[in-house]
Structure 1
């Protein structure tokens, strides 16, 4: 049985959207879905309960604690960890499970990303035009909203210390030949609707990457000027987008400096615009 763990903090607006797609074509009992409503002040748990899922609640508003709670309650493998604000189909869950079925196969898998950008302002679209072309973004398991693991893969990530960038930490826990991106299916990602909310996300990303750099031996690749030059060299039309990306990166680094200086790796700068 495939288990799906969904940490959900104040996700009443979107949890139904995820569960509708995830369970749309699932046979009764095919998936073991555990929704962990953590520290909610809205009706996330009430929205989720009518579905064929188990709903756990905790007053602690912590994603890492919710993941641990859901992990303890989950019954099967492969096991998926899914963010409540993405969209994932029944077919995608099955494809990820199949990718991990071989005894000598990968330990972790994730779907391709499908970003909803058509109605976003130009600077947001420009930022993601560059971000989605970065080599480490294309190959990493992070920022997809979904990570699937085998039993052995689960042991690997359970040994990791709690971190704000839990998906990046999980991605880095596996060598390239131990993980796979299943390009035949995708998770729908909803980017910010405003530049201010994009900046909030980037500040959080900058802070969380720094936390990993200070607490682990590896925090992955940092985007540098060489990466932007290489992208523009291949696609000169993206020169303006590269300028937007660079400006956002510099601004986020400056805004994150205070949190990094004080060691604040718990304040979660949440983008609400993408949930509307």
Structure 2
């Protein structure tokens, strides 16, 4: 059995798809699924129950809090933490389980971007970003991560951080975590330029928060030189790279403005991808 925790805030549009993708092909007793409906004003909890998940309801909004509540209800190890808008199938889950059984303390699938309905500039940004981090993927941005019992002790109790997957990623060295080839999560990124900028600003602020908490990133920051190299190698188009740089500049401005206004701790779901 694998315990699965899904934190869901007003996710009635996607929660059934998420759960059906996960449970299709599962054997009886193979999954212990807990959905934490946090501060929901829609039918998320009812839909999750109809899909035979155990449901915890709380009036308190916040993903870190919701993950903690769900974690307390888990019956076993390892444990999978899955975003409500991400699709992960049983083949991928079993491959992740194999990685844990072979010694990884934490692992994640390789994200596959579904760019249907994404605007032209937003799609260009996502393609460039995906190419830039292809050789250095970790546990962040995949929409799912699995922890062994030992790995769980590194992460929980989860502090009230903005970026839970960033906290998890930075809790392990490169030799302790694994991006599992052959395991895929379908991620639907922000569809509009405005949504991309807002999300990237939140990521930037979340990373800053982790730095202040002493969870420094092991990897060096991505630099302009890496982008130039990809352009020269014709792996990235010039127009795509320009769109990418404009979005980065914009999200840096938005992040700075949010720090000035004192709203840097705010975090909300990207509704453009629902």
TM over 0.5: yes
**1:128-147 counterparts in 2 under 5 A?**
128-135=126-133, 138-147=136-145
Query: Are the aligned partners of 2:255 and 2:264 in contact in 1 as well (CA < 8 Å)?
Result: no
* Structure 1 residues 75-127: Cα deviation after superposition (integer angstroms, max 9, x where no partner): 1111000000101112211211111113xx11011011110114422211210
Alignment partner, residue 121 of structure 2: 123
Query: Are the aligned partners of 1:7 and 1:38 in contact in 2 as well (CA < 8 Å)?
Result: yes
Query: Are the aligned partners of 1:200 and 1:269 in contact in 2 as well (CA < 8 Å)?
Result: no
* Structure 1 residues 46-100: Cα deviation after superposition (integer angstroms, max 9, x where no partner): 0100123210000001100100001111011110000001011122112111111
TM-score of the aligned structures, taking structure 1 as reference length: 0.93
Query: Are the aligned partners of 1:199 and 1:248 in contact in 2 as well (CA < 8 Å)?
Result: yes
* Structure 1 residues 20-55: Cα deviation after superposition (integer angstroms, max 9, x where no partner): 110111122210000000011111000100123210
Give, in whole Å, the separation in 2 of the partners of 1:113 and 1:218: 23
Alignment partner, residue 39 of structure 1: 39
Query: Are the aligned partners of 1:164 and 1:265 in contact in 2 as well (CA < 8 Å)?
Result: no
More off after superposition, 235-244 vs 139-148: 235-244
Runs of at least 5 residues in structure 1 that lack an aligned partner in the other structure: none
TM-score of the aligned structures, taking structure 2 as reference length: 0.94
Alignment partner, residue 242 of structure 2: 243
Alignment partner, residue 53 of structure 2: 53
Alignment partner, residue 273 of structure 1: 272
Query: How many residues of Structure 1 are paired with residues of Structure 2 in the alignment?
Result: 273
**1:101-116 counterparts in 2 under 5 A?**
101-102=101-102, 105-116=103-114
Query: Are the aligned partners of 1:5 and 1:70 in contact in 2 as well (CA < 8 Å)?
Result: yes
Give, in whole Å, the separation in 2 of the partners of 1:142 and 1:250: 21
Runs of at least 5 residues in structure 2 that lack an aligned partner in the other structure: none
Alignment partner, residue 257 of structure 1: 256
Alignment partner, residue 222 of structure 2: 223
Cα separation, partners in 2 of 1:237 and 1:115, compared to 1, 3 Å? closer
Q: Within the alignment, does 1:62 sit opposite 2:62 as a pair?
A: yes
More off after superposition, 187-196 vs 130-139: 130-139
Q: CA deviation at 1:242?
A: 1.2
Question: Cα RMSD between the aligned structures?
Answer: 1.7
Give, in whole Å, the separation in 2 of the partners of 1:23 and 1:32: 10
Q: CA deviation at 1:202?
A: 1.2
